[in-house]
Structure formats: structure tokens, C-alpha cells
Amino acid sequence: MADLQAIVDEIHDKLAPRLGEGKVADYIPQLAHVDPKKFGMAIVTVDGEIFKVGDADVPFSIQSISKVFTLTLALGKHGETTWNRVGREPSGSAFNSIVQLEHEEGKPRNPFINAGAIAVSDLVLAGHTPREAIGEIVRFVRYLADDDSIAIDPTVAKSEQATGYRNFALANFMRSFGKLDHPVEHVLGVYFHHCALAMTCTQLAKSGLFLAASGRNPLTGHTVVSKQRARRINALMLTCGHYDGSGDFAYRVGLPGKSGVGGGILAVAPGRASVAVWSPGLNHNGNSLLGSLALEMLTTRTGWSVFGH
């Protein structure tokens, strides 16, 4: 195998002069306080080897990356009926777009745009109070990463709760179409809290490893989902994981991935490794600018791709 430590070190060195490029998300006030020059990357292979560089052990707000974990939970709870509530097509529009939702009568295009993830939060909430649902999500992510120190940053959750006008609009809109079962405040309480999970690149790469290893976390031996479900979640990450930048990410990186406005990206190289990268500056689609570049450099060097060797 390629010398992965040398590769991540080289990526870090090459990007060092560019740290700070891109635009840090500031529509969630608490996210604007992050140092734009942070950069971390962690690779966890299916053999359990870990390679990391830079700020790989500094926690950051995972934001929309959490949507992969809530989707996994919702599928576990509701199986294929999940798809009655949310579609599986790329949206081709911004992460928080409302226009499409009106055309499609409150059924969001996919589980990774905000409206879709809000619908998924509603599914995770079934049979629970919001507090219980949030607890279930945190326990699930701790189980995936095998790390009980993972927690939600309450200041980020509060900050978004106070300013998430657009998400309130999306949720109210869906509720008006009868597409949410629970009160909007409860559903968004769950949504804002899972987006506010704080994790390091190392924790994130570990928690995504089941997707690289046919549904089983080789570090813990736990079977998280079936092989088929792992493949399907990867397919959604590939087609929808970067909003209207998903095509570009597939073209340049060639792996399923999910980004968050905190500047993190989780990418899955099936049969090989799970990779997390963090650089807060975003490109015009709201995806980490240098994070995408780092993953492009990694897959160029290793030849990792879901499209061929």
C-alpha cells in the first residue's frame, strides 16, 4: 500500500500556504468564530490503521455530515418506508433552497439537503421526546466512533436555533403539506442539535468506517448495517452529499462524501478507508474549499476511486 502518512504530510505541506482561503460560514453566528486557518485530516483504513495530520484531533462542528448518521438511524427504524417521506435524487439547488419544495409538495429531494434532513429528524423523533431523540443520536455516533467523549456543542445549537429562519421556513412549509408528524419546534430542536455535534477528524473517520467496510466497523467488530444498506448510503453520498457541487466532487475526488458548513468532509473509499478532512473556508457551494482539494490530492496519489482503479 502507498505510504499514507507520507501522503497526508505532503498534502498538508502543499496546502499550508493556502490555509485561510474560502469563506467561513457566518450565517450561524457561532461558526464565524472559528479560526479559518485550521486544517486537519485523518484516514482510518479497514485494517484499523490511522494516519493523521494537522488539527486532526481538534473538535469542530460537523453540521451536515451528521445527516449521514441520522439517515442511517432513520433507515434502521423505518426501513424502506423512509423513502415515502424523502426522495433519492440530487437536488441541483442550494442546501437550503425552498423553491423545489413547493414544486414537489413538501417531499424533499434527498436526505442531505436541509429540508430532507429535517424530514429525517422527524422520522428519528417517532416515539420519542426531542431530548430522547437527541440522546439516541449522540449514543449512536459514540457507538460508531467507539468514543464516549463525543458531545454536542450547546452554544452552536443555540446559535442556530436563534437564527435558523430559513430552516424554520422549510419545516413550516413541510408541516403545511402534512409532511411532518411532530411540531416544528421539536423537529428543529433535534435537527439543530445533531448538526451541532462537535467531532475531530479522527472521530469522524472512525464513525464512517462502517460505510467503507460493507456495513461492519472493523475496529469494534459491530455490524452497523447490512452490506446492501452501506452501498446505498454511499450511493446517496456520492450523488447528493455536496449539494449542487456533488457532480464536481464526484468528478474530482471520485468517492462518496458528505460535507458540512463547518468545513468538514467525510469521504468513503469502499474496501479501503474512511477519510475525514477539516478546513473551515468554504467554496461557493458551501463545501470546504481546501478540504475538497485535499481529498482530490489524496485520491490522485492513491488511485482510490469508486469509478475504477
Residues found near ligand GLU in the complex (CB under 6 A): 63-64, 95-96, 114, 160, 167, 195, 260-261, 286
CA angle 179, 95, 182 (to 5 degrees): 25
> What is the nearest approach in angstroms of ligand GLU to the Cβ of residue 196?
8
Q: Which of 61, 64, 159, 279 is catalytic?
A: 64
How far CA 125 is from CA of 24, 43, 77, 107, in Å, comes to: 31, 32, 10, 18
Residue 191 known to be catalytic: yes
Contacts of 114 (CB under 8 A, 6+ apart): 64, 95, 96, 166, 167, 170
Residue pair 202/54 in contact (Cβ under 8 Å)? The answer is: no
Q: CB nearer to ligand GLU: give 63 or 72.
A: 63
Cα–Cα distance, 288 to 124 (Å, whole number): 28
Please report which helix (H) or strand (E) contains residue 217, including its range: strand 216-217
Q: Is 227 a catalytic residue?
A: no
Shortest Cβ 209–ligand GLU spacing (Å): 21
> Active site residue: 53, 224, 253, 261, which one?
261
233's grid cell: 448510503
Smallest distance, ligand GLU to C-beta of residue 15, A: 22
Q: Looking at beta carbons only, is 106 or 270 nearer to ligand GLU?
A: 106
How open is the CA angle 57-190-136, to the nearest 5 degrees? 70
From the CB of 257, what's the least distance to ligand GLU, in Å? 13
- For the bound state, the minimum distance from the C-beta of residue 233 to ligand GLU, rounded and expressed in Å, comes to 17
Pick the closer one to ligand GLU by CB: 193 or 216.
193
Q: How far is the CB of 248 from ligand GLU (least distance, A)?
A: 16
Between 122 and 160, CB nearer to ligand GLU: 160
H-only helix segments in the chain: 4-15, 66-78, 99-103, 114-124, 130-145, 154-163, 165-176, 184-195, 201-207, 209-212, 227-240, 246-252, 289-302
Let me know if 243 is a catalytic residue. yes
Known catalytic residue at 165: no
The angle that helices 289-302 and 4-15 make with each other, rounded to 10 degrees, is 140
Residue closer to ligand GLU by CB (options 214, 288) is 288
> Is residue 27 annotated as part of the catalytic site, yes or no?
no
- The catalytically annotated residue of 91, 107, 243, 279 is 243
Specify the residue, 96 or 220, whose C-beta has the smaller distance to ligand GLU. 96
* Catalytic positions: 64, 67, 191, 243, 261
